[in-house]
Amino acid sequence: MVKSTVKVVIRTRPTANFASKNLKLDLEKKTIEVFIPKDSTQGMINNQQENWKFKFDDFLHNAPQEEVYNICGQDIVRSVIEGYNGTIFAYGQTGAGKTYTMSGGSQNYKFRGIIPRAISQIFREVQNKPEFSFTIKVSYVEIYNELVYDLLSTIPPSEQAGSIMIQDDSKYGIVVKGLTLVMSTSEEDALNQLFEGETNRTIAEHKLNKSSTRSHCIYTLHIESRSRVESSEKVVFSKLNLVDLAGSERTKKTGSEGLTLTEANFINKSLSYMEQVVIALSEKGRDHVPYRQSKLTYILKDSIGGNSKTLMVANIWPEPEHMEETISTLRFATRMMRVSNEITINVELDPMQLIERYKKEVRDLRQELAMHDTLANRGRVVYESYTPEQQYQVQTIAEKFLDGGLDEIELESLRQIKELMNQMKNIYKKNLARYSGNDHKKEVRPPTNRTGPHKGSELKNVEDKDEGVGQEEHSGGFGLGRANPNSRPADSSALEPKSQFKQEEQDDILEKKKSVKSVTPEEAKKINSAKSAKRERQPDKNQAFMEFKNADGRDLDNNLNRLKEELKERKIELNSITSEVNSIKKDIDETREIVEKVRKHRAADEEDIIDEEEFVYIKKIRDLKKSYRVKFDSIKALKDEVNNVNRNIEYYRDKVIQEFEKWYEVKYGFLPVITHEETRTGTKPIEEKSTDDLDSDALAYIKAKKNVQTLHKAKKTLGAIGKA
């Protein structure tokens, strides 16, 4: 941000009765000296000040309107086109020439003021910048007796409530809520709005001014620009406030009474609050600035101490009888020069342009990925988010890999790797939750220590080691059951020394050999044959999924199919109404073209008269627009319904998968086989290979070999991830 002080220019009203004894102007040094002699009626002791000297940015003494605009308006208007906010306002006593300075006189085109000249310059600058697209809107606000009126509204100010709210917007600064903004595509349009607002202003007569404006008026041009050459999402916006303040007045001089007196009180009060704001801004270390004391100071918050290049034209009436008002105006102008604003170019990013840019970037990146896959001799890789069906397929692959059914997984993308890791984590959590609740395992584990019973932690270690040794054989013995094929051992013994394998496995085999006697061979054969039959009955998950949908999952599957049919119907209905809307839009465009042709063929003197043919077409357009709105509302409602149905479909898909997993585990999972006698005694025989056929190092060899194979698989997987 750049600091910019408020620029102050003094303009004197031309008069034949110039107070040459009281005022001394130095146009080169840009100073003014004021001399007011002491009042002799006050007596000998009179400390009244007699001399004042002021210095300002510029002086306009007997200056024509063109010179006034060149000094006061040109630079600020040019800055507004570049993206800075700008404000020009006139301040002074009633009758000093504020309205003439801002709006000008209606007698001659040369007498036009700052506002019409600024409008002309803005559209001239816009035409000189064809590489930019400009949008210009105008608004006109009146503050009368602390009530805010919209001068461009279709409702006359006399019928308005005057309760328009002023708000502080983080993006646009101070905004007037509900204010009419009229699009202006030419200088003529903007001037028409200016003149229309002028006719709605409140004007009254008193002794010093036959047409005194009794309100503060703010004419604002809102400008937005974006580049036509660059496909940039940057939008530059700014506003130009052109303010005609009501004049401060001494009611003794104006002879105001009744309504005029009430208006004068409100005017003087708001100008007094404005002076308090200026004083607060000029004081260093002042925390609070009373902007909200009046509507005028609040609406000019950006202009005084905010983000705006501001210039004040101080109008004075240099006649002897107005010296007190002149001194008051010059003092206020001096305080205004101490106010500094922080200005910056107003830039925002167009969200629609940003979306288009991001879409293009995504398309380009996908093309880059497709080219990379082609050069790497890889098939077509999908980079979109996974659907529930695809997630289920990845889960199946992860289960096969963990079960040993797959030696390696072909890695295609980072998204696939993340999904694999996620599914493996889910499998681990399910197995952990499934087996963490089986506390009875500790109770039925037999004592296998040579010197006495194992502690709980030692029992757990023995059990973990048994899970990783060889494959189960159906010889003698009584089995604990079998772990789920999707699970892995909880710990890894790849780093244990071989001597430790030898000692521990030999001890376990000897103790298991002792415990095998507790179950007869006939009982063990029955149990093992039942387990084998259960394992043989375990179907493929796809077949099981079809069985689940025809059994316990029938209701969920029916709901899912019903929602899919409902979605299909909604989409058909949506396409039908969309076609109708497009047809109506086409009819509207064609009818508009016909109306334009009718207007072009109409005679010049009948241009403002609508004939019967044109009236029929206009009525048709109105009816078509009504139908268009109805259909468009239907489309919005249908889109909401489609979104709701889609959400329900996703919910039921997830629900079906979750229920299927539960059903599958209950029906085909393996549970420990425990007899009533074992539950009572707290001991359980262990099924194991006979040691008669085993070498002393066999168990350690099998376990070490399996761990080495697992290590090689892990290295292959990590290598594939590194290449991807």
Determine whether the annotation assigns residue 96 to a binding site.
yes
Nearest CA among 126, 359, 105, 374 for reference residue 236:
126
pLDDT at 197 over 50: yes
Burial of 619 (0-12, 13-18, 19+ CB in 10 A): exposed
Q: Are both 456 and 529 inside the same structural domain?
A: yes
Give the tokens for residue 713.
Answer: 């698989």
Average pLDDT of the residues in 676-692 = 39
Query: Which residue, 349, 365, 399, sits at the end of a domain?
Result: 349
Q: Are both 608 and 715 inside the same structural domain?
A: no
C-alpha 519/C-alpha 180 separation (Å) is 95
Average pLDDT of the residues in 528-548 = 65
The three-point CA angle 175-179-183 to 5° equals 105
- Residue-wise pLDDT tens digits, 121-161: 999 999 999 889 999 999 999 999 899 999 998 888 888 88
Higher per-residue confidence, 246 vs 534: 246
Q: Are both 520 and 562 inside the same structural domain?
A: no
Place of tokens 């290590």: 711
Higher per-residue confidence, 713 vs 313: 313
Q: What is the pLDDT, as a whole number, of residue 450?
A: 41
Query: Looking at the DSSP assignment, which residues form a beta bridge with residue 135?
Result: 224
Q: What is the pLDDT, as a whole number, of residue 522?
A: 58
Determine, yes or no, domain membership for 365: no
Determine whether the annotation assigns residue 456 to a binding site.
no
Which amino acid does the sequence have at 383?
Y
pLDDT at 255 over 70: yes
Q: What is the pLDDT, as a whole number, of residue 709?
A: 60
pTM of the model: 0.53
Q: What is the pLDDT, as a whole number, of residue 55?
A: 93
Determine, yes or no, domain membership for 26: yes
Residue 278: CB atoms within 10 Å: 24
Q: What is the pLDDT, as a whole number, of residue 591?
A: 87
Q: Are both 630 and 660 inside the same structural domain?
A: yes
Q: Are both 605 and 573 inside the same structural domain?
A: yes
pLDDT at 536 over 80: no
Q: What is the pLDDT, as a whole number, of residue 201?
A: 83
Determine whether the annotation assigns residue 719 to a binding site.
no
Determine, yes or no, domain membership for 549: no
Average pLDDT of the residues in 430-444 = 64
Nearest CA among 489, 379, 483 for reference residue 438:
483
Q: What is the pLDDT, as a whole number, of residue 374?
A: 78
What interhelical angle do 74-82 and 65-72 show, nearest 10?
40
Average pLDDT of the residues in 89-95 = 91
Determine whether the annotation assigns residue 705 to a binding site.
no
- Residue-wise pLDDT tens digits, 659-676: 888 888 787 764 333 333
Alpha helices per DSSP H over 319-413: 323-336, 351-375, 388-403
3-state secondary structure string, 588-602? HHHHHHHHHHHHHHC
Nearest CA among 67, 173, 40, 191 for reference residue 122:
191
C-alpha 92/C-alpha 216 separation (Å) is 12
Q: What is the pLDDT, as a whole number, of residue 171?
A: 77
Q: Are both 598 and 526 inside the same structural domain?
A: no
Determine whether the annotation assigns residue 92 to a binding site.
yes
Determine whether the annotation assigns residue 390 to a binding site.
no
Helices and strands, counts by H and E, the chain: 21, 19
Report the CATH number at residue 130. Answer: 3.40.850.10
Query: Looking at the DSSP assignment, which residues form a beta bridge with residue 5?
Result: 340
Query: Which residue, 623, 639, 667, sits at the end of a domain?
Result: 667
Give the tokens for residue 191.
Answer: 């001037």
Query: Looking at the DSSP assignment, which residues form a beta bridge with residue 179?
Result: none
Higher per-residue confidence, 523 vs 322: 322
Q: What is the pLDDT, as a whole number, of residue 703?
A: 54
Q: What is the pLDDT, as a whole number, of residue 430?
A: 86
CB 152 within 8 A of CB 107: no
Q: What is the pLDDT, as a whole number, of residue 686?
A: 38
Higher per-residue confidence, 271 vs 442: 271
Determine, yes or no, domain membership for 372: no
Confidence at 357, pLDDT banded by 50, 70, 90: confident
Q: Are both 206 and 63 inside the same structural domain?
A: yes
What percent of the chain is predicted at pLDDT more than 90? 27
- Residue-wise pLDDT tens digits, 395-409: 888 888 888 888 888
pLDDT at 496 over 50: no
Q: What is the pLDDT, as a whole number, of residue 666?
A: 80
Q: Are both 569 and 684 inside the same structural domain?
A: no
Query: Which residue, 323, 349, 375, sits at the end of a domain?
Result: 349
Beta strand residue intervals within 284-355, DSSP E = 309-316, 340-343, 347-349
Higher per-residue confidence, 104 vs 206: 104
Q: How far is CA 224 from the centre of its chain?
A: 21
Average pLDDT of the residues in 492-516 = 45
Determine, yes or no, domain membership for 429: no
Residues 6+ apart with CB under 8 A from 257: none
How many structural domains compose the chain? 3
What percent of the chain is predicted at pLDDT more than 70? 74
Report the CATH number at residue 594. Answer: 1.20.1500
Determine, yes or no, domain membership for 22: yes
pLDDT at 708 over 90: no
Place of tokens 């493996």: 424
Determine, yes or no, domain membership for 188: yes
Determine whether the annotation assigns residue 97 to a binding site.
yes
Q: What is the pLDDT, as a whole number, of residue 380?
A: 65
Q: Are both 212 and 330 inside the same structural domain?
A: yes
Q: What is the pLDDT, as a whole number, of residue 533?
A: 54
Determine, yes or no, domain membership for 158: yes
Give the tokens for residue 243.
Answer: 């303010």
Rounded to 5 degrees, what are φ and ψ at 578? Answer: -60, -40
Q: Are both 646 and 515 inside the same structural domain?
A: no
- Exposure on the CB side of residue 401, measured as CA atoms within 13 A: 19
Residue 59: CB atoms within 10 Å: 19
Q: What is the pLDDT, as a whole number, of residue 706?
A: 58
Give the range of the structural domain holding residue 570, as residue numbers without chain letter. 554-667
Confidence at 715, pLDDT banded by 50, 70, 90: low
- Residue-wise pLDDT tens digits, 16-37: 998 888 899 998 989 999 998 8
Confidence at 704, pLDDT banded by 50, 70, 90: low
Place of tokens 């009819």: 587
- Residue-wise pLDDT tens digits, 61-76: 989 999 999 999 999 9
The three-point CA angle 193-68-19 to 5° equals 120
Determine whether the annotation assigns residue 98 to a binding site.
yes
Query: Looking at the DSSP assignment, which residues form a beta bridge with residue 720?
Result: none
C-alpha 357/C-alpha 36 separation (Å) is 68
Q: Are both 182 and 238 inside the same structural domain?
A: yes
Q: What is the pLDDT, as a whole number, of residue 48?
A: 75
Q: Are both 574 and 500 inside the same structural domain?
A: no
DSSP for 435-457, written as a single string:
HHT-THHHHHPPP--SSSPPPHH
- Residue-wise pLDDT tens digits, 417-434: 888 899 899 888 888 888
Q: What is the pLDDT, as a whole number, of residue 503?
A: 47
Average pLDDT of the residues in 302-326 = 91
Q: What is the pLDDT, as a whole number, of residue 94?
A: 87
pLDDT at 455 over 60: no
Task: Report long-range pairs for 107-111 (Cβ below 8 Å, ≥24 apart).
Answer: 110/64, 110/65, 110/66, 111/65
The three-point CA angle 547-551-555 to 5° equals 120
